[in-house]
């Protein structure tokens, strides 16, 4: 069964600290993995997208890693800011029929405190 598991479910950190979010998946065949940031009451916004051949990709203070062998990904946030408070969703794209399909994780809710 295609699944995406994220941990932790929620996380509280102090402003300025770093943190790492985890994503494990069992989606097969695998096309790509994306990390999205979703503010409360808003739609998800893409942070990074990686194919199986990419090990790491950065977007400002966000760095995503991918290990396609172990089917694990992480999202590292450096020097956190209050505006980083949001849900971070790991999404894996597989194949279904003639189209790619997206499998969503439940997200990690990050709270950055002053």
Partner 1 sequence: GAVVSQHPSRVICKSGTSVKIECRSLDFQATTMFWYRQFPKQSLMLMATSNEGSKATYEQGVEKDKFLINHASLTLSTLTVTSAHPEDSSFYICSARPGWNTEAFFGQGTRLTVV
Residues that bind partner 1 (CB under 8 A): 31, 36, 41-46, 49, 89, 93, 98-102, 104-107, 109
Strands (E), 8-114: 10-14, 19-25, 30-38, 45-51, 56-59, 62-67, 72-77, 86-96, 99-104, 108-113
CB 53 to partner 1: min, Å: 15
Comparison of 11 and 102: residue with beta carbon closer to partner 1:
102
CB 42 to partner 1: min, Å: 5
CB 68 to partner 1: min, Å: 17
Comparison of 45 and 79: residue with beta carbon closer to partner 1:
45
Query: What CA–CA distance (Å, rounded) separates 24 from 52?
Result: 14
Kindly give the pairing relationship between strand 99-104 and strand 19-25: unpaired
Give the up-direction half-sphere exposure of residue 114: CA atoms within 13 A in the CB hemisphere.
Answer: 0
Comparison of 3 and 56: residue with beta carbon closer to partner 1:
3
């Amino acid at each position: 069964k295609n699944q995406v598991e994220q941990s932790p479910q929620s996380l509280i950190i102090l402003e300025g600290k770093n943190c790492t979010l985890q994503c494990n998946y069992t989606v097969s065949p695998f096309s790509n993995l994306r990390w999205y940031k979703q503010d409360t009451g808003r739609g998800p916004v893409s942070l990074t997208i990686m194919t199986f051949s990419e090990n790491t990709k950065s977007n400002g203070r966000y760095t995503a890693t991918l290990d396609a062998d172990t089917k694990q990904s992480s999202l590292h946030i450096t020097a956190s800011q209050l505006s980083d408070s949001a849900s971070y969703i790991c999404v894996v794209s597989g194949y279904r029929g003639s189209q790619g399909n997206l499998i969503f994780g439940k997200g990690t809710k990050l709270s950055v405190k002053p």
